[in-house]
Amino acid sequence: MTQLLRKPSTALTVAYGLLVLTGTNATMAEPLAFAPLPMESPETVSTQWKPLLDYLGKSLGEPVRIEYSDDYGKILDKFRAGKLDLAYLGPLPYVTLKEKFPAATPVVHFNEQNGQPTYSCAIVALEERKLALKNIKGLRIALTQPLSTCGYLSTDGLLRRAGSDLEKNRYRYLDKHDAVALAVARGDYDAGGLKTAIGRKYLHLGLMVLAESPPLPSFALIANGTRLSAERIEQIRQALTRAQPGTTKSWGDNIRHGAVPANDRDYDAVRQLRGRADIPERDNF
Amino acid sequence: MYATSPSNKRRILIWLGGFALAWILTAALLQDNWQYKQGRYLDQHASVVATAYRASVDSYALATRVLFTETINKPNTITIFARGIDGDPAARGQLYRLLAQTYDDLVKQGIRQLHFHTSTGHSYLRFHALDKFGDPLFDVRPSLRIANTEKRMVFGFEAGRIVSGFRYVFPLFDQDRHLGSVETSVTFRSIRETMTRIDPGREYAFVLRRDSVENVVFADTRNLYVPWPMNADYFVEDPELKLPDSPPPPTPKMRSLDAALASSTAVHTRMAAGDSFTLPMEIEGEFWAVSFSPVADVTQRQVAYVVSYTAAPYLGALRNEFIRMLALATLALATLLFLAYRLWQAREQQTREAEHLRTITDTIADGIYVMDARGTIRMINPAFEEILGYAPADVIGKIGHDIFHAHAANGDRVPHKNCPIFSVVKQGGAFQGDEIFRSKAGALINVGVASRPILDRNHRPTGISVTAFRDISVRKQTEATLLAAKNTAEAANRAKSEFLSMMSHEIRTPMNGVIGMAQLLLIPGLEEGERLDYARTILNSGQTLLNLLNDILDLSKIEAGRIELEDGVVEPRQILRETALLFAAAAADKKIALTTDGPEGNRRYRGDSHRLRQMLANLVGNAVKFTHQGEICLSVREIESTPERCMLEFSVRDTGIGIPADKLSRLFQPFTQVDSSITREYGGTGLGLSIVRSLAHMMKGETGVDSQVGQGSRFWFSVALTPLAPDVDSRGSNRDSRPTATHDPLVRGLNGRILVVEDNRTNRLVIGTLLGKIGLTVDMAENGQEGVTRLIKSAETEKPDLILMDVQMPVLDGLAATAQIRQWELDNAVPRIPIIALTADAFAEDRERCLAAGMDDYLAKPIDAARLRETLAHWLGRVKQ
């Protein structure tokens, strides 16, 4: 085989290419199933992801379809059930998935708007409140989503570093990072946990960053190792990391800034922030 | 059907062309009407949309004004904003926190934006995009520039950095210090919802002009805008509903309408022109009105359109009405065309019939004229002109009666109202009869007239009448001739009946004498004197019969035109004298003086002296007969005289019984006497005067009578004769040179042998006896053939010296026998034997026929013994010689 490869002929090259392109499931005609973030309208998802998926399908030689889900839980269930090949997940959902489904394999991290494959989470509060985090309790804290990395996970982790935790305070999930920032800015909450970059957008409204996590891996494309071979995963990784800006400019807002290879170790900081295995899915007030 | 001649085809094409033109005009009018109504209807839509839009925008302006007055333009707000303007970094968050709840309330009211700006036009605080601030806005937001430079409120639509909206900008002041401005903005979704509340049942879209998007919107939000399917020069804002305030996506029907109108030139041109308009559309059988209401920004630059989609079944009703009206109009036009075509056909037919009638009336031989209710002539035909001589201009438009019919048959004038033709046809009756018309030359013409009134369809007279007439002058003349001939024939018939009656009497009378006397002679033992008297009476009676027969023959010849006048020398004086001598004895017997009044000298003329003598003898005989005393005077005189012609009048005047005046007209008629009693008393046939008149007419003269009862009469006749020069020898005339008959014809005997060829036994006996008395030897033959045979076979010594030949005989008649004899004589060189015809055929042509057949002389039956002897003596003498 090696000998043959060293003396390639056109026919053999084509045959090899086909083998590589089709992977172990080369005989399958079924398109790859990709899960976007939940809670987004199909139209938005389609607009945001379709150019990338088209690119990927063309690179892989087989089409990629979108498999919608209402929440992270369903995405994880489908992943474990082998109904998904690829998923776009934040750090916490990945860590959670990885714990239950080791075949989940990070493929690439999509760079943030600042060009980095990492971001941080923060706790913000109104500067005029002159709030100190140490041993706080009983405060009203705004959170994004239960499975959002900058939600319960990072906020609880940062509070724990200051001698407190979320369970000592009153927290409420507001879903979106901007909503958390504005809720704090309006004075409706004493503090809020959110993505640092978003919190910084509203500093002019009197917010300040009380605490900030170390760099955390950005959103990543996670492959299902039970359905995709390592070669196939690598093929996808190569395709995405080598995509040129001319190609990526038509991709969605959060995925157009480039990608870097991802590794499970990138999530160690996340695992360190995590205090408890189960994150409450409901507000505590 | 009529043949489709080129002219007919051309007319049909003209008709069809006219129909097409009328149809096109009608269709254009109907379509114009349809389009007008549709236009009005669509304008209403455009107006409704524009009104709803204005009302909606104004309602938000009012709400914003309340907000501004009641909430924003308050001291604490102004103070915080002023600190922010002055550089206090905490002011923005404080302002946000102060008005956050207000903004939430505004959002619930549909006002999505609350935005503070600095006086330099930089964004200070966007409640709807709190992460974006500090950017300059004057260049892209004229409303802000106007509000902050002119320091006044500005309302109106305007594109924005993120989304477009209907802006309500208020300048903000801290006391007199101009801080900047605040604005609220309403998205089209809010405007749309308000419009829907105002006018439910419409769908709306809001589209922005491409340049107002590309030049204004933040680059990272530009993907909110996609080209509008109907017109790519416009953009639809956030059709994918990325923003919470975006209006609902277009319905499938709107998408269909957008697609259908994408190819509409009107959409592109009128939107480019910034027009307010409404277009009708039909999609899958449903009618829609799509209204385009332009939206201007605060600088009055047209930058967007509110597009309204509404179901408009009325458009379908209008279209259906147009189709119905067009169908009706087409039907009506077709019906009209058909009727007009039929009318034209009928008129053509009428024209043709009129031409035919005109041809007929022009060629017909009868005169025709058309008269109106007043009797005015409307039309005449050529035959009218030909018969009466009037040109159309002479009579057309004039009362025909006054021109050519103003008279009755007797020529008297008749008023128009009494005109028999006009008065009948005026009442609707038909006139048929003979009338007299007057020609232009003034001649009266007998015409047969038929006049008929023209009736309407209800059989009421229209007043118009047609009259035909023809010249019947010839017919009238023929009728008159026929009538005269009939009268003549009837008169002749009557006359002949009378004649027969008369003849019976006239013949019976002498016949009675003959038969009676003959019976007396048969009585034995008569005295010689008695025998002579009886024989003389028989002779007289026979003579009377002969005279009667001669008169009848004369009259017959005259009437048949077969009498020929001799052209000899006439000596009137001699005729008078001889005639007077002829009647001298009879006059003397009645003791009547008989005188002549002859002309001076012995002038002679050329004429027929025998007939003149006969005529005069007739008059004298009558005079002698009807005169019992007094005298009878014969006279002759010239009443006209020219070198070439003289008119002589012979007259006989008597002093007889005279004739009543009322009977004079009956004279000179054949078989007519004044009174039948006269005939009985005086005898006579009544033929004498008739013969005189006829002969006088033949001689170009007249006859006449003057008479008074008891005084006498004067009968006369005139004749035209050619005078002769005095030296013409009277011996040249055909005077009978034979010796005058004597009263004893049998006295002197003759010698010779006579062959008598006669089929009648009595005649043979009479002739044989007479010839024997004369002394001649007689041989008899009973027909022509026997006569010829006897002659040929007789011995030389028994050859006759003369043959008396009857004409009409059985076996071989006298003419044929004569021809055979002459031929035999020629063939055998036998000397010509005199053959004398002895026949009852007494006319001159009979004589000519006999002579032509080879006979030598002619004697008529009954036999005049004296004349027989004279003739025999003449021919036997020649034989002897």
Which tens digits make up the pLDDT trace of A95-136? Answer: 989 998 999 999 999 999 889 999 999 999 999 989 998 989
Of A128, A182, A187, the CB nearest to B90: A128
| b/e burial code for range B441-470 (CB count within 10 A of at least 16 → b) | eeeebbbbbbbbbeeeeeeebebebbbbbb
Q: Is the dihedral of CA B79, B82, B83, B88 positive or negative?
A: positive
Contacts of A206 in chain B (CB under 8 A): 89-90, 92-94, 97
Give the pLDDT band (50/70/90) at residue B254.
confident
**Mean pLDDT of the residues in chain A:** 85
DSSP run (H or E) holding A172? strand A170-173
Q: Which of residues 199-238 of B touch A (CB under 8 A)?
A: 220, 223
* Residue A204 to chain B, least CA–CA distance (Å): 7
Side by side, the strands of the sheet bearing B202-209 are B225-227, B234-237, B202-209, B302-311, B286-296, B277-283
pLDDT in tens, B665-685: 777 766 555 454 554 455 555
Q: Which of B600, B594, B590, B568 is nearest to B724 (CA)?
A: B568
Of B90, B130, B240, the CB nearest to A47: B240
At residue B505, the pLDDT reads 64
Instruction: Return the SS3 of B656.
Output: coil
**A vs B: CB pairs below 8 A:** 42
Give the pLDDT band (50/70/90) at residue B734.
very low
| A48, closest residue in chain B (CA to CA) | B223
How many Å apart are CA B438 and CA B450, to the nearest integer?
17
Q: Which amino acid is at A135?
A: N
Say if residues A85 and A224 touch (Cβ distance below 8 Å): yes
| B92, closest residue in chain A (CA to CA) | A205
| B242, closest residue in chain A (CA to CA) | A44
Strands B777-781 and B753-757: parallel
Q: Which of A217, A261, A256, A266 is nearest to A241 (CA)?
A: A261
In chain B, DSSP finds a helix count (H) and a strand count (E) of 24, 28
Give the pLDDT band (50/70/90) at residue A26.
very low
Q: CB of B241 within 8 Å of any CB in chain A? A: yes
* Residue B99 to chain A, least CA–CA distance (Å): 9
Per DSSP, the residues of B368-395 read EEEE-TTSBEEEE-HHHHHHH---HHHH
Portion of chain A with pLDDT greater than 70, in percent: 87
Check whether B739 has a pLDDT greater than 70: no
Per DSSP, the residues of B151-191 read -S-EEEEE--SSS-EEEEEEEEEETTEEEEEEEEEE-HHHH
* Residue A14 to chain B, least CA–CA distance (Å): 40
At residue B144, the pLDDT reads 92
| b/e burial code for range B817-855 (CB count within 10 A of at least 16 → b) | bbbbbbeeeeeeeeeebbbbbbbebeeeebbebbeebbb
* B780, two tokens: 């008899």
* Contact: B93, A44; criterion CB under 8 Å: no
At residue B425, the pLDDT reads 86
How many Å apart are CA B425 and CA B416, to the nearest integer?
13
Q: Which of residues 70-109 of B touch A (CB under 8 A)?
A: 89-90, 92-94, 96-97, 100
Q: CB of B130 within 8 Å of any CB in chain A? A: yes
* B440, two tokens: 């232009």
Instruction: Return the SS3 of B838.
Output: strand
At residue B344, the pLDDT reads 84
| B103, closest residue in chain A (CA to CA) | A186
Instruction: Return the SS3 of B571.
Output: coil
Say if residues B867 and B859 touch (Cβ distance below 8 Å): yes
Contacts of A185 in chain B (CB under 8 A): 93, 96-97, 130
Residues 6 or more apart in contact with residue B113 via CB below 8 angstroms: B126, B127, B128, B160, B165, B183, B184, B185, B186, B187
How many Å apart are CA B115 and CA B95, to the nearest integer?
11
At residue B833, the pLDDT reads 92
* B772, two tokens: 């024997």
Q: CB of A185 within 8 Å of any CB in chain B? A: yes
Check whether B594 has a pLDDT greater than 50: yes
At residue B748, the pLDDT reads 54
Cis check for the bond before B862: say yes or no (omega within 30 of 0).
yes
How many Å apart are CA B20 and CA B330, to the nearest integer?
10
Q: Which of B511, B535, B512 is nearest to B522 (CA)?
A: B535
At residue B157, the pLDDT reads 85
At residue A35, the pLDDT reads 92
At residue B244, the pLDDT reads 62
Of A41, A128, A186, the CB nearest to B96: A186
Residue B508: count other Cβ atoms within 10 Å of its Cβ: 11
* Contact: B92, A205; criterion CB under 8 Å: yes
Of A126, A187, A205, the CB nearest to B130: A205
Residue B832: CA count within 13 A, CB half-sphere = 11
**Has the ipTM of the complex gone over 0.85?**
no
* B555, two tokens: 């009259």
Query: Considering all CA atoms of chain A, what is the largest pairwise distance in Å, rounded to the nearest integer?
Result: 74
Per DSSP, the residues of B354-368 read HHHHHHHHHH-SSEE
| DSSP for residue A171 | E
At residue B588, the pLDDT reads 87
Instruction: Return the SS3 of B782.
Output: coil
Contacts of B241 in chain A (CB under 8 A): 41, 43
Portion of chain B with pLDDT greater than 90, in percent: 25
pLDDT in tens, A247-285: 898 898 889 999 999 999 999 989 988 877 688 989 998
Per DSSP, the residues of B224-262 read GEEE-SS-TTEEEE-TT--STTPPPPPPHHHHHHHHHHT
How many Å apart are CA A41 and CA A20, to the nearest integer?
35
How many Å apart are CA A152 and CA A168, to the nearest integer?
13
pLDDT in tens, B178-188: 999 999 988 88
Q: Alpha helices of B650-716 — where are they, by DSSP H?
A: 676-682, 688-698
* A14, two tokens: 């084509």
Query: What average pLDDT does the segment B514-518 reach?
Result: 79
- CA-based end-to-end distance of chain A: 66
For residue B71, with 0-12 CB atoms within 10 Å meaning exposed, 13-18 middle and 19 or more buried, which class applies? middle
Say if residues B128 and B114 touch (Cβ distance below 8 Å): yes
pLDDT in tens, B549-565: 877 777 777 777 777 88
How many Å apart are CA B594 and CA B631, to the nearest integer?
6
Per DSSP, the residues of B402-461 read HHH--S-TTS----GGG-HHHHHHHTT--EEEEEEEE-TTS-EEEEEEEEEEEE-TTS-E
Contacts of A126 in chain B (CB under 8 A): 93
* Contact: A201, B131; criterion CB under 8 Å: yes
pLDDT in tens, B407-459: 666 667 778 888 888 888 888 888 998 888 888 888 888 889 999 998 888 88
At residue B762, the pLDDT reads 80
* Contact: B240, A178; criterion CB under 8 Å: no
At residue A9, the pLDDT reads 42
| A46, closest residue in chain B (CA to CA) | B240
| A201, closest residue in chain B (CA to CA) | B131
Contacts of B131 in chain A (CB under 8 A): 178, 201-202
Q: CB of A184 within 8 Å of any CB in chain B? A: no
Q: Which amino acid is at B216?
A: V
Check whether A1 has a pLDDT greater than 50: no
**Mean pLDDT of the residues in chain B:** 84
Check whether B649 has a pLDDT greater than 60: yes
* Contact: B131, A127; criterion CB under 8 Å: no
* A34, β-bridge pairs: A66, A86
| A184, closest residue in chain B (CA to CA) | B97
Check whether A18 has a pLDDT greater than 60: no
Of B131, B223, B240, the CB nearest to A202: B131
* Residue B202 to chain A, least CA–CA distance (Å): 26
Say if residues B249 and B241 touch (Cβ distance below 8 Å): yes
How many Å apart are CA B124 and CA B153, to the nearest integer?
18
| B131, closest residue in chain A (CA to CA) | A201
| A42, closest residue in chain B (CA to CA) | B240
* Contact: B97, A186; criterion CB under 8 Å: yes
* Residue B234 to chain A, least CA–CA distance (Å): 21
Contacts of B97 in chain A (CB under 8 A): 185-187, 206
How many Å apart are CA B426 and CA B409, to the nearest integer?
21
How many Å apart are CA A97 and CA B82, to the nearest integer?
53
| A186, closest residue in chain B (CA to CA) | B97
* Residue A51 to chain B, least CA–CA distance (Å): 14
* Contact: B240, A43; criterion CB under 8 Å: yes
Give the pLDDT band (50/70/90) at residue B842.
low
Query: What average pLDDT does the segment B125-136 reach?
Result: 89
pLDDT in tens, A60-82: 998 999 988 877 788 889 998 99
Strands B367-371 and B225-227: unpaired
- CA-based end-to-end distance of chain B: 104
Residues 6 or more apart in contact with residue A126 via CB below 8 angstroms: A184, A185, A187, A206, A207, A208, B93
Query: What average pLDDT does the segment A34-45 reach?
Result: 76
pLDDT in tens, B266-302: 999 999 998 989 999 988 888 999 999 998 888 888 8
How many Å apart are CA A183 and CA B252, to the nearest integer?
39
Check whether A7 has a pLDDT greater than 50: no
Of B93, B241, B242, the CB nearest to A205: B93
Give the pLDDT band (50/70/90) at residue B530.
confident
Contacts of A127 in chain B (CB under 8 A): 90
Query: What average pLDDT does the segment B211-218 reach?
Result: 76
At residue B6, the pLDDT reads 74
Portion of chain B with pLDDT greater than 70, in percent: 90
Check whether B741 has a pLDDT greater than 60: no
Residue the block writes with tokens 């004039």: B398
Contacts of B96 in chain A (CB under 8 A): 185-186, 205
At residue A17, the pLDDT reads 39
How many Å apart are CA B30 and CA B324, to the nearest integer?
10
Q: CB of A194 within 8 Å of any CB in chain B? A: no
Angle of helix A177-186 relative to helix B91-109, nearest 10 degrees, comes to 110
Residue the block writes with tokens 């005939």: B679
Check whether B386 has a pLDDT greater than 80: yes
How many Å apart are CA A99 and CA A82, to the nearest integer?
16
Residue B791: count other Cβ atoms within 10 Å of its Cβ: 24
Give the pLDDT band (50/70/90) at residue B509.
low
Q: What does residue B727 show for φ and ψ, rounded to 5 degrees?
A: -95, 5
